[in-house]
Chains A and B, each alone.
Chain A
Amino acid sequence: MQQSKSLISQALSTLKGNMERTGDPLGFKKDYWTGWAEGLNLPREGETALLTARMYQMLPYVIQATDMVASVKPILPLLSVKAFSKMFEKAGSMTGEAVLRLKAKSARDVKDKGENVLKGIISALTKVGEHPAYLYETEPYSGVLLYDLGLEKHIAPHVKKVYRQLKTRGVKRVITVDPHTTFMLREVFPSYISNYDLEVLHYLELLSGKIEDLKARAGVKFPKEFVMHDSCVMTRDLGIVEQARQAAAGLGITLLEPENTRENTACCGGPVEYAYADLSGKISNIRIQELTDVCRNILVTCPICLINLMKYEKQMSIKVWDMGELLLAACKGKDTKYTER
């Protein structure tokens, strides 16, 4: 609670500065978000595009940024907004990979996990007959942090720029991979853009109608029982509740329900981790207890929930899986290859 004004103003200024300089909330110039698609030969143009909006790819760097904020907290009153921003700018001007090396293994594991999620999603989409384009290095960020933190003056120009970028590339239909980007493109963008005409679909909405095609081949290695942790945005903002359950059923998984579930799901605490790690930890602790009371394998469909609940894996001998990882496991070894159309 102490130094909250300094902390929030510095976080806001850094975010604003990063977005203005690079269009990326982390301020990285290097396209750290395209690595997962290497070798997949996804088409670079098309009316339907997969929009990762960098969310899963950001995860390892988010851990680092959060640690960095925690480490400077004691000296916050001594730092001017400018000095704080400068510090982050310097970190951002190093390439993403160099920053990642600072934390080596744990961050690298998170990076691999995020990339596997995306590979799983694209392979499942391919399997049900969807072949979206991927914009690679020109893929934009949705601006969800600007919106959530109330940087009103900056959200309108960003949203318009992203829309223009997608339209210029001929995109008419967007397939999203996370609830936050889906919410931005479906609910927030239209309020800033007149005649908004992008069709926005979350990948689970596409897969749930084709569960027959998702059946995992015998011998696929993942647990058969999971407890479902619904994302707040996914259920209460977007109303995407049954689709994850249908996809899980398609994979032959038994889903168990925790105490607070579906539209009444409880938050993982992730959204305030950037500034209030202690509070976030207390919230995630309550939620992880509810989940582990039911099952030690937890299924999530959101990158923020994933990173926030994963922290408990070692300590509680549990495993947190993203739906995309299960999809990858189910599709591996199948005749469908990402590169083939």
Chain B
Amino acid sequence: MKENVNIRETLLKEIAKCRSCRFCVDVCPTYQASSGVESLSAYGRLQIMKYLLNGILEFDDSLTFCLYSCLQCKRCEIVCKSKGQNLEICELIQLGRSLLSGKLVEGGRRATI
């Protein structure tokens, strides 16, 4: 439980470093393949995670799709680095999944965060 609290805090702290420049959006393969749905980009996923952790969004099918469809390909990180921010975006998404996966295994479609 304490571990989860730490992960949650780390995630929120790291996501807050994002300057919303959105350069990571265009290069994301899932964003390109979905004809421009921002929720399916690196930036979109970070925002979803933030609002999930803050309790503003509900953990539903759409958000599960957004978070688990990340390829972990790190193309976004190359751009983030070149813009001077250097966030480890894929690691943050993977960390977010580590909060959710246990709940999904236990609760199935009724899992909550």
Contacts and interface: CB of A to CB of B under 8 A. Distances in A.
Interface in A170-206: none
A2 B107 contact: no
B22 interface: no
B74 interface: yes
Contacts of A100: none
B30 A150 contact: no
B61 A272 contact: no
B71 A286 contact: no
A9 B107 CA distance: 8
Contacts of B33: 269, 279, 282-283, 285-286
A151 B101 contact: yes
- Interface size class for chain B? 35 or more
B38 interface: no
A283 B30 CA distance: 7
B16 interface: no
Contacts of A4: 61-62, 64-65, 68
Interface string A7-34: 0111011001000000000000000000
A255 interface: no
Contacts of B60: 5
A152 interface: yes
Interface in A273-296: 275-276, 279, 282-283, 285-287
A279 B30 contact: yes
Nearest to A16: B105
Among B59, B68, B107, the most chain A Cβ lie within 10 Å of the Cβ of B68
B98 interface: yes
A279 B100 CA distance: 21
A9 B71 contact: no
Interface in B97-113: 97-102, 104-105, 107-109, 111
A145 to B, nearest CB: 11
B104 A272 contact: no
A1 B73 contact: no
A1 B101 contact: no
Interface of A: 1-6, 8-10, 12-13, 16, 77, 80-81, 147-153, 232, 236-237, 263-267, 269, 271-272, 275-276, 279, 282-283, 285-287
24 contacts: A4-B61, A4-B64, A4-B65, A5-B64, A5-B104, A5-B108, A9-B111, A10-B108, A12-B105, A150-B95, A150-B97, A150-B99, A232-B73, A264-B78, A266-B29, A267-B71, A269-B33, A271-B73, A279-B33, A279-B34, A282-B34, A283-B33, A285-B33, A286-B32
Interface of B: 29-30, 32-34, 59-62, 64-65, 68-75, 77-78, 94-102, 104-105, 107-109, 111
